[in-house]
Amino acid sequence: MSLESKHLLGLYGTSREDIELILDTARTFREVLERPIKKVPTLQGKTVVNLFFEASTRTRISFELAQKRLSADTINFTTSTSSTKKGETFKDTVRNIEAMKVDMIVVRHESAGVPQFLTRISNANIINAGDGTHEHPTQALLDMYSIKEKLNKLEGLKVCVVGDIAHSRVALSNIYGLTTMGAKVSVCGPSTMIPHSLIKLGVKIYNDIDKAIQENDVLNVLRIQLERKAGDRIPSLREYRNYFGITTERLNKFNKEIIILHPGPINRGIEISSEVADGPYQVILDQVTNGVAVRMAVLYLLGTKN
Amino acid sequence: MNIIIKGTTLLNPEQKINEKSDLLISDGIIKKIGSLNDGDYKNAKVYDFNNAYSVPGLFDMHVHLREPGREDEETVLTGSNSAAAGGFTGVACMPNTNPPIDTAEIVKFIKEKSQSHLVDVFPIATATHERKGEGLSPMLELSEAGAVAFSDDGNAIKSASLLRNAFEYTKMIDKVIIDHCEDESLAEGAMNEGITSTVLGLPPIPSIAEDIIVMRDIITAEYTNGKIHIAHISSKNAVDMVRQAKKKGIYVTAEATPHHFTLTEETVKSYDTNYKMNPPLRTKEDVDAIIEGLKDGTIDCIASDHAPHAIEEKEHEFIYAPNGVVGLETTLGLVLTELYHKKHLSIEKLVEKLSINPRIILKLPIPQFKEGEKANLTIFDPNLIWTVDIQKFQSKCRNSPFDKRLLTGKMLAVINKNKIYYENSFFTI
């Protein structure tokens, strides 16, 4: 079995078979992570570059750990300012790295489309680790893995992504991936944080968090990104917390089981209360562990493809 | 020296001329129209163009020549070569250079640079000092030096009060204000807002960013009795507003670019920065509205917004890449292919929008087919099929989304200022 694509650029257009293959493969690696010796020789001799043009701690560490667990040689290229601002073109930066003969590139960038651009100028397998407000496919894959781990299925589930949807790459990848897998995806947040056009993707929109809790099996709660000018679109964090924050009181109103995901890092007391973040419904730390397994699966499947 | 243009149809809607006729040009002056005798053929170089039109030299009222400041991207000379290669005998160049065209010296500098070239270059000066949107530029002095209009192109005129003053002040010289209509607070994006921007994850610019300023400009023009020209109109609503304003008798004119009536936002799906424009490429509905506006006269002219950019800048990430397209050498072909052959515009209308109207808006004389007049004409074959090859551009830059596109209709020669441009070379006549 192998993936249809040479790259993982996003979940838009990724087939159900490919997603299932990644999730199934991830389950095998998840077991490896429980062993006393957590390393397998699968990608020995392969070189992977983590090309991070935007600050990221957990995604980069997760990828790096996944690469080490697979015995790949790993190089980190991290820069908070883009090459543009330094004067070197992005293309030159990539060509320089390419010239070092790398097999795979994991890329994060604040501009959407950079992973696609890389496929045109590099022969390596490209894995998108987040581009602009476009996609973050491995995050959505690990979200799906975590949901499936808890509820044993994705088909027919109702999943609501909560927060600043307009500025989230996680939301779009969740929408594409979960829809392909037969789940019903909705979004919830203040109307200034939800692009009107999402309706055209068949996504239900809630502005009432209580209703979203009542009608869904899973909530994927996004971080309110204070750094992305959230201030222009919501009056205050206090108002956001009061009207959209996930709290125990809110969850208790409906006396139902609901799974709570959060891609991290959490703003405790804003989008989610500490009680919920540490409570019985959350799978937040499972997501982190599963993230390593899912990324191992993606690296393995792309790295061993012909 | 004498030349004869043989076999073309002379067409000038302004003069109501549309007839197949030979032309004898002597030292750059039209000497004789119609039946030429053996004596005329003697000592004359004959250019035989069958199935072609001779029309008053085409004029592009919106180009960026990048000089002074970015001579690596374009100069007055290379931009003029590009204009000639595209079939234009005149251009008006925008002032967002470095330094901007905001003093008489820079206006004169550009005019001097173009003095001996076939193509007439008319500088448009800034509307505000240093194009900063704070205080008017010295418009009387700029006008006297040769500026044909005023614009802060690249940005809208910053405030309604400045615009109002610009309208009042320019009444003294009867010159038009050209506005790049874009509300800054809404325009911090990289493509048109809609489902495509959502799917692509690119920061969006809503079409109302354009509409709001178009409305502001129209209302202010009405109130002050000013003259406004809307640059590169791109949204359906904006076209409607101009249409209504014209009905009310407000002095508003508008131009559209070839990319805005041929391409939609769908093309951005490739993340190819050659599709990054400002205003951004919009929807099919907007494209249709622009074509409709061109047909019913709401949109007066077609301008390329020729915007050369260094390859190293266009090769940046989408959100950082500069906006714009090399336009002069594809405009005529696109207009003929997309508007004439698809039966949206007749040849007469096309000549009005590419030659007559821009000159009327800028108060420039319209070339005439008349004995004793200076020869200023473009000869084109509306049916010649050719393929765009960006490597053959006369412009210094190659940023065009139209590379490899098959077009029907091409310029064959241009004549102006005692020179002819034919088969990629200039000759004095």
Give chain A positions within 8 Å (CB) of B318. 111-114, 117
Q: Shortest CB distance from A132 goes to which of B194, B202, B270?
A: B202
Name the token pair of B214.
């178009």
- List residues of chain B with CB under 8 Å from any CB of chain A: 194-195, 197-204, 270-271, 312, 315-320
Q: Kindly state whether residues B81 and B187 are assigned to the same domain.
A: yes
**Residue B157, C-beta contacts closer than 8 angstroms, at least 6 positions apart:** B127, B128, B133, B163, B166, B177, B179
**pLDDT at B10 (0 to 100):** 98
Q: Kindly state whether residues B15 and B153 are assigned to the same domain.
A: no
Give chain B positions within 8 Å (CB) of A117. 271, 317-318
The sheet with strand B53-56 has its strands ordered as B17-20, B9-12, B53-56, B377-387, B406-416, B419-422, B425-428
- Chain B interface, mutation test: which of A12, A84, A89, A135, most B Cβ atoms within 10 Å? A89
Instruction: Please report how many Cα atoms fall inside a 13 Å half-sphere around the Cα of residue B242, on the Cβ side.
Output: 33
Q: Shortest CB distance from A82 goes to which of B198, B270, B320?
A: B320
Q: What is the C-alpha separation between A166 and A162, in angstroms, rounded?
A: 11
DSSP conformational letter for B266: G
Q: What is the C-alpha separation between B396 and B85, in angstroms, rounded?
A: 13
B110, B104 contact by CB (below 8 A)? no
User: What are the CA-CA distances from residue B323 to residues A79, A159, A289, B369, B397 (Å)?
Assistant: 25, 39, 43, 39, 13
Chain B nearest C-alpha distance from A168 (Å): 9
Q: Kindly state whether residues B241 and B103 are assigned to the same domain.
A: yes
Q: Report the length, in residues, of chain B.
A: 429
Q: Do B201 and A201 touch (CB under 8 A)?
A: no
Q: Kindly state whether residues B83 and B131 are assigned to the same domain.
A: yes
Domain boundary among B317, B332, B361: B361
Q: Do B320 and A200 touch (CB under 8 A)?
A: no
Q: Kindly state whether residues B142 and B233 are assigned to the same domain.
A: yes
Q: Kindly state whether residues B91 and B139 are assigned to the same domain.
A: yes
Q: Is the pLDDT of residue A89 over 90?
A: no
CB atoms < 10 A from the CB of A143, how many? 28
* CATH number of the domain bearing residue B190: 3.20.20.140
How open is the CA angle A56-A57-A62, to the nearest 5 degrees? Answer: 110
Say what the alpha-carbon torsion angle A11, A17, A23, A29 is, to the nearest 10 degrees. -120
Q: What is the C-alpha separation between A257 and A274, in angstroms, rounded?
A: 18
Chain B nearest C-alpha distance from A113 (Å): 6
Domain boundary among B344, B361, B378: B361
- For chain B, the average pLDDT equals 97
Range of the domain at B99: 57-361
Provide the ipTM: 0.91
Q: Do A112 and B316 touch (CB under 8 A)?
A: no
Q: Is the pLDDT of residue A298 over 90?
A: yes
Q: Which of B102, B217, B305, B381 is catalytic?
A: B305
- Chain B interface, mutation test: which of A52, A109, A133, most B Cβ atoms within 10 Å? A133
**pLDDT at B71 (0 to 100):** 97
- Count A/B contacts: CB-CB distance under 8 Å: 66
Assess whether B102 carries a catalytic annotation. no
Q: Kindly state whether residues B72 and B174 are assigned to the same domain.
A: yes
Q: Kindly state whether residues B187 and B81 are assigned to the same domain.
A: yes
Full pLDDT tens readout for chain B, 429 residues: 899 999 999 999 999 999 999 999 999 999 999 989 999 998 899 999 989 999 999 999 999 999 999 999 999 999 999 999 999 999 999 999 999 999 999 999 999 999 999 999 999 999 999 999 999 999 999 999 999 999 999 999 999 999 999 999 999 999 999 999 999 999 999 999 999 999 999 999 999 999 999 999 999 999 999 999 999 999 999 999 999 999 999 999 999 999 999 999 999 999 999 999 999 999 999 999 999 999 999 999 999 999 999 998 898 899 999 999 999 999 999 999 999 999 999 999 999 999 999 999 999 999 999 999 999 999 999 999 999 999 999 999 999 999 999 999 999 999 999 999 999 999 998
**pLDDT at A86 (0 to 100):** 62
**pLDDT at A230 (0 to 100):** 63
pTM: 0.93
Give chain A positions within 8 Å (CB) of B204. 195
Domains annotated for chain A, with CATH where assigned, are 16-135+289-303 (3.40.50.1370), 137-287 (3.40.50.1370)
Q: Kindly state whether residues B356 and B378 are assigned to the same domain.
A: no
Say what the alpha-carbon torsion angle A179, A184, A188, A191 is, to the nearest 10 degrees. 70
**pLDDT at A83 (0 to 100):** 53
A106, A46 contact by CB (below 8 A)? no
Domain boundary among B336, B361, B386: B361
**pLDDT at B301 (0 to 100):** 98
The mean per-residue pLDDT over the stretch A103-120 comes to: 95
Q: Kindly state whether residues B131 and B49 are assigned to the same domain.
A: no
HEC readout, chain A: CCCCCCCECCCCCCCHHHHHHHHHHHHHHHHHCCCCCCCCCCCCCCEEEEEECCCCCHHHHHHHHHHHHCCCEEEEEECCCCHHHHCCCHHHHHHHHHCCCCCEEEEEECCCCHHHHHHHHCCCEEEEEEECCCECHHHHHHHHHHHHHHHCCCCCCEEEEECCCCCCHHHHHHHHHHHHCCCEEEEECCHHHCCHHHHHHCCEEECCHHHHHHHCCEEEECCCCHHHCHHHCCCCHHHHHHHHCECHHHHHCCCCCCEEECCCCCCECCCECHHHHCCCCECHHHHHHHHHHHHHHHHHHHHCCC
Q: Kindly state whether residues B390 and B343 are assigned to the same domain.
A: no
Q: Kindly state whether residues B406 and B261 are assigned to the same domain.
A: no
Q: Shortest CB distance from B201 goes to which of A172, A200, A201?
A: A172
**pLDDT at A44 (0 to 100):** 96
A115, A128 contact by CB (below 8 A)? yes
How many domains does one find in chain B? Answer: 2
Q: pLDDT-based confidence at A22, cuts 50/70/90?
A: very high
